[in-house]
Amino acid sequence: MQPGPIPRGVRILERIACMEMGDPIEGVESALPPDALGVESTNRQRTAAATKPRECNSCHRRINPAGFAFEHYDAMGAWRAEDNGQPVDASGSLRLPGAEELTFADGVEFAHKLAASRRVRDCYALHWTRYALGSHLERNAPGLEPIQKRFRENDSVKELLVSIATSDLFRTRSAGVGSESGP
């Protein structure tokens, strides 16, 4: 069974980079490459070909690189150096909102670049703040920026939690907090 670069990419972008990808085009599932043993191309090549049309590319120019970064891992997470007799290509380049360009050779390097990304750090702080509040919080909620800024400056989870607990957001539980539960 081949890895799923599209679901992997969407999951990374939505949960780790706080990017809203939206719903796929109706009926797109039928265009995805089949999980077949008798093909000559790699999983990456088949996925790239299936998502090449203009109507797909607007989203897949971001989704695919994030998912392809982990092509060295099969559907069960086991390492693989080859795909269909060819070397696995897990390299890529991804532009995050805010003009951050992440270029990587594989999933490990991609993970390191994500960890250093301002957007990903802000997303991480947002998830912790949502968890602490027990409510949904919009990405641009008033009072969130000082928490994110402090985390970017000191890179300490402990200090992040202190920032959240001492913030007006936490103490008053207002200003952009909705009723939806969970991070």
pLDDT in the model for residue 36: 60
Q: Which two tokens stand for residue 17?
A: 């980079």
pLDDT in the model for residue 181: 43
Q: Which two tokens stand for residue 129?
A: 């703040």
Eight-class DSSP state of 30: G
pLDDT in the model for residue 39: 72
Q: Which two tokens stand for residue 103?
A: 């270029």
pLDDT tens digits along 143-172: 999 999 999 999 999 999 999 999 999 988
Domain ranges across the chain = 5-116, 118-172
Q: Which helix (DSSP H) or strand (DSSP E) does residue 82 occupy? A: strand 82-83
Give this prediction's pTM: 0.84
* Residue 83 bridge partners (DSSP): 86
* φ, ψ dihedrals at 64, nearest 5°: -60, -50
| Exposed/middle/buried for residue 64 (C-beta within 10 Å: 0-12, 13-18, 19+) | buried
Separation between Cα atoms, residue 91 and residue 134, nearest integer Å = 38
Q: What is the mean pLDDT of each run of 10 residues along the chain (183 residues)?
A: 88 96 77 64 92 89 96 93 94 92 97 96 97 91 95 95 95 58 45
| Site of tokens 């985390």 | 151
User: Measuring CA to CA, which residue among 13, 2, 9, 6 is closest to residue 123?
Assistant: 13
| Site of tokens 């995050």 | 96
